[in-house]
Structure 1
Amino acid sequence: MRSKTIPYALAASVAFAVAAANPVLAEEATTAEQTINVMNKLFGTHPGKRANHAKGVVAEGSFTPSAEATRLSKASLFQGPAVPVTIRFSDATGVPTIADGAANANPHGMSLKFKLVDGSDMDVVLNSLAYFPVATGEEFRDLLKAVSESGPDAKKPTALENFVATHPAAATAGATAKSPSSLARQTYNGVNAFVFVDRDGKRQPYRFRFVPVQGEEILSPEEAGKREPDYLMAEIGPRVAKEPAKFRVLAQLAEAGDPTNDATKPWPDSRKTVDLGTLTVTKAVPNSAEVEKSLLFMPNALTDGIEVSDDPLIDARVQAYAVSFGRRSQ
């Protein structure tokens, strides 16, 4: 498939784990189906693979909560001992052979499934963007459509140029994610807002941030481009086998007036950040390619004490994931 640098950089700015199959006619399709169909147009169809973040590796580890987390939320995740976690790291785009160091492989993703003591799961979906390029599922679909219509021979101003003119974050969000030296040396952000609920019913909006204990280590585009095509996916297993990789699990707390319904607007760095605990990645699974086929990470798969906010992208993701899983499971 012909390279489309700007389209990839923009279209990849999302953690939608969607997959290819049987496009539905546009006039009959839901927004989620239309989004997947356009992704297939941009990245090609790769049966059994996600239409975005197609290339990945699955790892296992645990989460140990902090004492401060118990005061913010009544969630069982924060009340007891460490719980097991399944983690999927990924590259952006729906191209399963993309080079890990390519500019279009950004933003890298981290999706997590926490195994709670009652037998249920809680999911968290993150990526390395500081903020999202659009605020709604409909806008994301329209961004992808604009990208698909804005090839090198497109009439000026292109559909993409027109879209960016009215959606400024679409032009800048992609630049906030860069290639790391290791998947264990990158910060992963939750661009969507969620809500903690404590034992007294107090509600506190927040956004997740997973920060590597060793510190973030970012490569220049030139250096990343010289690395082996699979340098990130191949490195994480031996790294954690030698020494577990740890992330501080943080929550940035919103204050009055901070928007919770617009992922294009990051909150000020001055907002309080609370340490919720530590994620420890201990091993890459030996049959990663097989395991990831059955993994479905749903942003609204939460637990009592953590709730969705009014961010419309959360439901947009849920709808896309439902369509995705059904298609790639066929």
Structure 2
Amino acid sequence: MTRIPLLRRALAGGLMLAGLAGTPVSAEDGTTAEQTVDAMNTLWGQHPGMRANHAKGTVVEGRFTPSAEAAKLSKASVFSGAAVPVTARFSDATGLPTIADGAANANPHGLSLKFKLADGSEMDVVTNSLKYFPVATGEEFRDLLVAIAKSGKDAGKPTPAETFVASHPAAGKAGATARTPTSLARQTYNGVNAFILVDASGKRQAFRYRIVPVEGEELLGSEEAAKQAPDHLMSEIRTRLGKAPVSYKVLAQLAEPGDRTDDATQPWPEERRLVEMGTLTLTKPVADSASAEKALLFLPNALTDGIEVSDDPLIDARVQAYAVSFGRRSQ
């Protein structure tokens, strides 16, 4: 594979692209979601049965125990008091199923959650270690990927990727907000998209998820991360869970008037109120993670009464792209 210059790895805004493969894609064929997945396949190759992005991962199980404060903000049953089972998937970035966990390209690491609610329904939460996203819409994300795919070593200057980032400032900065942790149990995971909490009286509150390790975040420098064993994060979390549970605080960062809910490139000020919605406790690794991963589909709009999507256009864009990727890897 041709190595991508450091600039274009940063341009990916957390995808941290590892190389080019295949024929450059066109932004004219198929839907935006199909074009996005095609671009990922161009960059990382096609790997049957695997996700187009965040291909490498591991599945674990646990529970979510809500706080009393959560029920004041939302009427959702997940916050009603009783603990609910959770299936979680940790992942590395890129569509490379054998990427080294400590590689810069493996950032951002993802944490996706599927809550099994008492009425038999499910609710999904999709987070990663980026503090904000590189672009604001699905079309821009597709255009970013296509621009990178067309910016190989023979591309003229300025390359399509350089031209893109010049007009999209967050695209050149977002990737730097994610670093390799000492353990997946020691990383903070962010929901870059805004959602809406609805309480029993109908009051609506925009928020973003933040999942913070109880043990505290602990990150590695790039040189130290690169020295780790290729599977050190995925193996370590499974070993760790074999000895003791791992816990995280699930927080809601509450928006205030004027905070953008329709632009994932715009983080809200750190002084915004953080409400503890409950505790996520992971208890054991799934025995056959590969089979579990293949069957799992996490959709950001898979919600329950009391939590709603916001006006963030990336939510639907992600849902559509995930569905395309799932359909292809299920064939």
Return the TM-score normalized by structure 2: 0.95
- How far the C-alpha of 1:154 sits from its partner, in A, is 1.4
Matching residue of 1:140: 141
Matching residue of 2:327: 326
Q: What is the aligned length?
A: 326
Distance in 2 between residues matched to 1:187 and 1:69, nearest whole Å: 20
Matching residue of 1:166: 167
Distance in 1 between residues matched to 2:254 and 2:243, nearest whole Å: 35
Distance in 2 between residues matched to 1:216 and 1:236, nearest whole Å: 14
Distance in 2 between residues matched to 1:5 and 1:108, nearest whole Å: 21
Q: How does 1:24-173 map to 2 (within 5 A)?
A: 27-173=28-174
- How far the C-alpha of 1:8 sits from its partner, in A, is 4.4
Matching residue of 1:233: 234
Distance in 1 between residues matched to 2:232 and 2:10, nearest whole Å: 20
Distance in 2 between residues matched to 1:162 and 1:99, nearest whole Å: 30
- Helix, strand or coil at the partner of 1:175: helix
Distance in 2 between residues matched to 1:9 and 1:39, nearest whole Å: 16
- How far the C-alpha of 1:290 sits from its partner, in A, is 1.0
Distance in 2 between residues matched to 1:68 and 1:120, nearest whole Å: 23
Matching residue of 1:20: none
Matching residue of 1:175: 176
- Helix, strand or coil at the partner of 1:207: strand
Distance in 2 between residues matched to 1:247 and 1:219, nearest whole Å: 20
Residues 71-119 of structure 1, C-alpha deviation per residue, up to 9 Å, x if partnerless?
0000000002110000000000000010000000000000000000100
Residues 115-136 of structure 1, C-alpha deviation per residue, up to 9 Å, x if partnerless?
0010000000000000000000
Matching residue of 2:311: 310
Distance in 2 between residues matched to 1:49 and 1:323, nearest whole Å: 12
Name stretches of at least 5 consecutive residues in structure 1 with no aligned partner: 15-22
Matching residue of 1:19: none
Matching residue of 1:268: 269
Distance in 2 between residues matched to 1:12 and 1:59, nearest whole Å: 27
Q: 1:263·1:311 contact (CA, 8 Å) conserved in 2?
A: yes
Matching residue of 2:21: none
- How far the C-alpha of 1:282 sits from its partner, in A, is 0.6
- Helix, strand or coil at the partner of 2:242: helix
- How far the C-alpha of 1:26 sits from its partner, in A, is 5.0
- How far the C-alpha of 1:24 sits from its partner, in A, is 9.4
Return the TM-score normalized by structure 1: 0.95
Q: 1:12·1:106 contact (CA, 8 Å) conserved in 2?
A: no
CA-based RMSD of the aligned residues comes to 1.9
Which segment is superposed worse, 286-295 or 25-34?
Answer: 25-34
- Fraction of identical pairs, as percent: 71
Q: 1:9·1:104 contact (CA, 8 Å) conserved in 2?
A: no
Distance in 2 between residues matched to 1:255 and 1:47, nearest whole Å: 44
- How far the C-alpha of 1:151 sits from its partner, in A, is 1.8
Output the amino acid matched with 1:48.
G
Output the amino acid matched with 1:183.
L
